[in-house]
Amino acid sequence: LATWRHVRPLLGGDDLRALGLKPGPRFGALLRGLTAEQVAGRARTRAQAARWLAARAGAARRPPPSRAERSARGHHHERGGP
Q: How many domains does the chain have?
A: 1
Decide if 58 is inside a domain. yes
CA distances from 10 to 5, 74, 75 (A): 14, 42, 40
- State yes or no: pLDDT of 2 exceeds 60: no
Domain span holding position 27: 2-62
The confidence score (pLDDT) of residue 81 equals 47
Per-residue pLDDT tens for 13-72? 898 888 888 888 888 899 999 999 999 999 999 999 999 988 888 755 555 556 776 677
Do the domain assignments include residue 67? Answer: no
Looking at the domain assignment, is residue 12 inside a domain? yes
Q: What is the dihedral of CA 32, 15, 13, 8, to 10 degrees?
A: 50
Residue 78 lies in a domain: no
- Confidence (pLDDT) at 8: 85
Q: Is residue 81 in some structural domain?
A: no
In a domain, 30, yes or no: yes
